Structure 1
Amino acid sequence: QPLYGIAGERQIVETTLDHLEGYKGEQPIRIGNQAYEHIQNDIYGQVLISMLPLYTDHRFVFSERSDSVKWIESVLSKIERTIDEKDAGIWEFRNIANVHCYSNLFQWAGAHAALKMAKTIGNKDFEERAQVLIDKAAAHIEACYDPERKVYTNAVGSKHLDASTLQLIMMGYLDPASDRAKDHLIALENELKTEHGLFYRYLHADDFGKPKTTFLICAFWYVEALACVGRVDEAIKEFENIIKYCNHLLLFSEDVDAETGSQWGNFPQAYSHVGLMNAAYRIAIKLDRPIFL
């Protein structure tokens, strides 16, 4: 289960409030979140990545944690059971299931994290199992590659492009200096980037039809990817453009209308601001200038 209520509720039944007009007449108004029912298989890799510093940062004493074998075993087993399964993906599709590239990317990254942990605690069994998962996840990711368009699609057997695959560059699956990474980025920007520098998640129809608005975190991912492949001047230019889409309180929404620049979706949206910080940090690392310049 990828989502819980603020008080730990396991069921967050989604309902509509038909008596409310909605922002500028937009309906339906929903409370709850059906996503609690979804399967999102990237989460297990995310957990392993988040826990990795406890085993690689020498400020922590991993030997004090007597449950290492138990919890690593639990999460590794989850990935082993789900790595070949279809899921709802990062965008929480309601009636669409695929073997998503993004989910496999985080299974790949999570397995790498597990491999490092296994070496730290000296567990050969975990090392071998993690390596098998790395290879399986990579095979699924490569099954998403379209050699004619020189781009990775959103899922195995799909032709659709998706901004979440920018993470292939940012997470180090693709070498940022490689032609494959640069070609992948160009293909995504040619299809998903708007003339105003915003970025769609994807253009194909989902459970609610074709997307009408861009997704702000995707624009920040684009900035990060630009910086990664060495297009730093463009990254700075795009970053300075994107931050103009805040409101008078300097807060960001989830979505932005590509034509009007108006804010839509959840507001304020936490991960839009996380995207802002990550993009700024990525540019700063690339510039690596003394603080007085």
Structure 2
Amino acid sequence: MAERPAAAPGSRGRKIKYINLNQLRSFFAVAEHRSFTRAARSLNVGQPTITTQVRALEERYGVELFQRLPGKIALSETGAALLAIVRPLFELEAQAVTLMEARGGAVVGTLRVGSVGPFFVMKLLAAVQGAHPTLTISLKTSNSEEILREVLDGKLDVAVVGDVGPDSRLSAVPLQRQSIVVFVGRRHRWSRRQQIDLRELHGQPMVMREQGSRTREALERVLAKAKIKPRIVMEVPREAVREAVAEGLGIGILSEAELTPDPRFKALRIADSEAATEAFAICLQSRRSIRSIAAFMDIATQVSTKR
């Protein structure tokens, strides 16, 4: 008669409970996409299957995981708590799949990249794609604050952002330092100049990036130190800054990397200021060994050492 395996310490007399992983995977997909339809598409199954799986999970444990609202869904308090627990589980599953799918050393799968703008990241992505042509890349752009938050939340794998402070959760590689310049519309009285002094911005109407922009934060630190106060007339996203300046609504700021030819603008160097931002490639330290993330960060390190 075969021996029964010994019970784990502390488990004698207790019934081990298991959760249905298919139901949990359906919940995770809906929570990530905030949509039953998009979740079904991501898992390549029919929407009724997803709906049934999530409902069965809720009924089994007598909880509400989603609030079904008109035209949308939202995580309940229990659903949000469960999402925080299961996200690492499915990240580990993704690592396992990546490991098993790697063929002949190839890096496969999809790398979710965030960036403060295409100007900062495209050369790096070209190098990554050239070295690993089997890797698919998806790119999201926003301000540094939002991109950093999504990396920390696990919604993005890697990112290129502005200045980041010390954070033990992150692996960071410095990429490049970029001076900050101002730009004006062609009808502005400064449009024939090549540079200005910092003090000339005092009292001037300025169109600023939204809060969370590292470019804005870097310039504001310099202005505050010099006790210079421009008049902020608008706060808008990057592309809207360009359009507002073109319409003569104020003076804009950008980094050198964002300087692209446009007949509507004139860029001006700030002669007596060292206002600048530095771009960093970042990822979660705990995910640094994932093949696709490691490939990106290794190439970022190569780029950094060539500066």
Common fold by TM > 0.5: no
Query: In which range does the TM-score fall when normalised by the shorter chain?
Result: under 0.3
Higher strand share: 2
Q: Which has the larger radius of gyration?
A: 2
Higher helix share: 1
**Bigger relative contact order, structure 1 or 2 (CA pairs below 8 A, ≥6 apart):** 2
TM-score, length of structure 1 as denominator length: 0.21
TM-score, length of structure 2 as denominator length: 0.20
